[in-house]
A and B are shown apart, each in its own frame.
Chain A
């Protein structure tokens, strides 16, 4: 199990381009493939990861590791997800000045960035479905409140300079008001 954690997050560490939310669906894929958590449980992990300081992808990895394998699992996940970038940064630093002129990563990003956009858009749809906000048989009921929450949150993020952490905290308070 520790080995699985290590390999999963090492893989994710190598491919985590685009930062932050781009890796959420990839981690979720691994988490589901190993049946570590349900998507709904993983949504809560992302919520906690988003409220904590630090990179959201690393935070999610650590939380998943903790849930699956306690303190040791958390440590293994943190090392595994950080190791690839450490290696790549060191290797690249060695060749940095030679590579500067002809950076083929620029070319790769031309195709990679739109794919990352698609990936994050997919994540939003997937998380909404897995949390019973869309695609359920119920048309009236809680999921409409959920959709309203999504629209309100998105509106705040797009049109004000609100800190994402505040959006999470605010919606938590609203959740208590409405559902408790």
Chain B
């Protein structure tokens, strides 16, 4: 591999490496930093294109921050760029979570830590409920989507099937409904826009 290419790959790696550890509060917290780094600082992506990149990063499975790094890496340096971007953004958080995991596992039976986690567990329930409300606001915008969400919840609660199948069914139903009612296309689009 030529020298310039390797330098570029390092540059991709370090740019995303630096953003990653400051993103407390989930992948979405990284987005503004990521945006600044690749448009203003590095000029890898034009500002008018960044929205498209983010929409695409959100559409494919996986974390939006990691996908953005992968996609931008790919755009500027092909497959190796994609890999450099992915490893760059994953490595710092990987090391931090492993360190925290080790720390937690050795102190989890300490009475103070146990007491703290008695308080934290309900907070996790609150965070998950909050996530449901947030996504529900964009996902449920008419009767059909309301029914789908309700039926899904009942299935998840009472039918012992792998959740992956219910998710896939949701995607398939979405496609089928839109095939049938082309006129309602703009409604789905509107939902997608709100989310992005």
Where the two chains meet, the residues of A that have a C-beta atom closer than 8 Å to any C-beta of B are 11, 13-22, 24-26, 29, 40, 43-59, 62-63, 66-67, 71, 74-75, 78, 81-82, 84-86, 88-90, 92-93, 96, 103-128, 131, 133, 142, 146-154, 157-158, 163-165, 167-168, 170-176, 178-180
Contacts and interface: CB of A to CB of B under 8 A. Distances in A.
Q: State the 6 A-B residue pairs at the shortest beta-carbon distance, nearest first.
A: A175-B119, A111-B174, A54-B93, A85-B62, A115-B170, A118-B152
Contact of A29 (B151, B163, B170): B163
Contacts of A45: 101
Given A84-B61, A164-B25, A175 B171 contact: no
Contacts of A175: 115-120
Contact of A114 (B56, B70, B152, B179): B152
B58 A59 contact: no
Contacts of B124: 43, 46-47, 50, 127, 168
A176 B152 CA distance: 37
Contacts of B130: 153-154, 157-158, 164
A124 B123 CA distance: 11
Contacts of B174: 107-112
A50 B23 CA distance: 11
Contacts of A48: 97, 100-101, 104
Contacts of A167: 123, 126-127
- Greatest chain A CB density within 10 A among B22, B28, B145, B187 is at B145
B98 A112 contact: no
A85 B98 contact: no
Contact of B79 (A40, A90, A96): A90
Contacts of A50: 26, 124, 127
Given A113-B139, A122-B153, A90 B61 contact: no
Contacts of A125: 157
Interface residues of B, number: 105
A53 B112 contact: no
A55 B70 contact: no
A118 B150 CA distance: 6
Interface in B42-87: 56-67, 70-71, 74-75, 79, 82-83, 86
B173 interface: yes
A26 B128 CA distance: 13
A55 B187 CA distance: 30
A25 B156 contact: yes
Given A16-B61, A116-B139, A89 B71 contact: yes
Contacts of B90: 54, 58, 78, 82
Contact of A115 (B123, B126, B166, B178): B166
Nearest to A111: B174
B120 A171 contact: yes
A120 B33 CA distance: 27
B121 A110 contact: no
B40 interface: no
A10 B22 CA distance: 26
Given A110-B178, A168-B120, A174-B119, A116 B170 contact: yes
